[in-house]
Structure 1
Amino acid sequence: MKKNIAIVMGGYSSEYGISMKSGSVVYRYLNSEKYSPYRIVITKEKWAYLNDADEEIPVDKSDFSITLEDKKIRFDCVFNAIHGTPGEDGLLQAYFELLDIPQTSCDHYEAALTFNKRDLLSTLKPYGVHCATSYYLDKGDSIDEDHIVEKVGLPCFVKANRAGSSYGVSKVYEKEGLTKALDNAFSEDNEVIIESFLDGTEVSVGVITYNGKVMVLPITEIVSENDFFDFEAKYLGKSQEITPARISKKQEENVRHWAEFIYKTLGLKGYTRSEFIFIGDTPHLLEVNTTPGLTEESILPKQAKEAGISLEELFASAIEEALR
């Protein structure tokens, strides 16, 4: 009997459009002989099932079900394709845990931890994970620009603490640029992390659970045409994403070790994509994404393809792992 799969997409953040694309790709590639997929669009205003005619049918939030032709449809598993809140920060994970519905991403605590860049890096530093020098600010804090520059140097990166897809991120070259960069970051979140500039090769490392085993995918080198790997570089073709990465054997061994170490140490599940910058042979962690992009052009699906895993196989594996 086919399993009913709810593909949740959309979300409450600036990443809504990217999530809709990811969810649509999952819907298109799921094996229709094994699964009955349902597109569920989640926004602050409404939760709705989107049928093939793009008509919306409300979701019953009390048990996460829909009613079609007087028949209640319940879901065997949720495929999480929401980037940002509420799909990547633990809110939906906690909801589905309470309803005892399996879902494809990590559990609620791990999602909340990894989505919070400041907490993630603070948690991993005692394990020997290298990262940039950082400075934290919350909305309303007094801003001592001289102290910031003394701590992290210039240039530096100003980032929204809880946001993705490079929303709320700026590279600052002069002290006078901090105010504008902070305004940009605070437009996405009320917490900010300011990091020192790391001058080295940037790589993205996908780690997944596939056929019951943790698997590090082929590594991707990021070469941005812009000043850094910003929104344009990620989604508008302003970068080269080279898989496998042009790095040394030693660098590859080191970054594979740390990516797998982070995945296992934090107790992650499903798909993750971690970003690192090399200083010499040492990878420095930037962030961990627990619901990475899933379009044909996204990094993790390209890494899976390099490893010989099709999109159909990739998506089916996530569902089977969740059901397991």
Structure 2
Amino acid sequence: MTTINIDGSLGEGGGQVLRSSLSLSMITGQPFRIEKIRAKRAKPGLMRQHLTCVRAAAEICGAKVEGAELKSQELSFVPGKVKTGEYSFAVGTAGSTSLVFQTVFLPLLLADGESIVQFEGGTHNSKAPSFDYISEVFMPVVRRMGAEAELELVRAGFYPAGQGQFVAEIGSVDSLKPIELLRRGGLKSRLAVAGLCNLEERIGKRELSELSKVLDLNLKEMNVHHYEGAAGAGNVLSMAYEFDELTEIFTGFGEKGVTAEFVAKQVAKEAARYAKEEAPVGDYLADQLLLPFALVGGGRFRTLALSQHFLTNKDIIEKFLDVEIETTRESRLSWLVEIKTK
């Protein structure tokens, strides 16, 4: 089979190029070679969490890999057959466990047999989807497409301590089915949660108070949650909108030197932008839905904007799959995305 050559500096030039290539290679059986890995990042090449993605992919499909080492900017990957079963993957730092999960999830889902996979590292990371986002936003959509999987957070892991853990039980399906996400449907609930790990409750209350000023939340729509048993300190503020058709979550993270009010204002800004529009799929979810929709070879959804991650993912997918991803701008904050088989 012909090796697909990939320029790692394509589009946003980050780890997305590598992760999508790994997933698609395992699913299609097509080998690939990538150069200029993360070329547009301040620290180019494979970092620990990217290396974990490579090693996880190689383990579940018995791949032949060259260049799998820290700071490497070139990698070749020749996949074997994906084998389901029990696996454990540790990033070793506060690097994102969610990104490792996304690398192996669809290949395991579409293989024969069930899998139980444990992920260790960062579960709540400002530079990647949080566990809550994957569990409450992404997973319900792919379940509608026919996916069978359950996620359980064992222990939260924040930057820089990490040491978080979650477990994924992944079923087996022959294929996914196309769906449409063109409207939100009715608003069922709103919920703001200030998550705290080894921090005083007053921090969370300040965040919620500030968030409420912008979004006009009532007491039933706000909650402070303490993560038990986690290492180090951490804070995540999330604003969730549950509609008939999907759930969207907007997230911010507390950092040293950053006030609780500033964190809340950033989350409120994103949430308010989404709430006043009509397109159901947020920017981040649009990027994550491209791969499952493309594997089906059909489906449509509306999103607020096309991020650089989205456009990069689109380019990589079209290298591996015989699909066409059409994007049509309908208004300033509404794009129609349609996947078609060529």
TM-score, normalising length from structure 2?
0.27
TM-score, normalising length from structure 1?
0.28
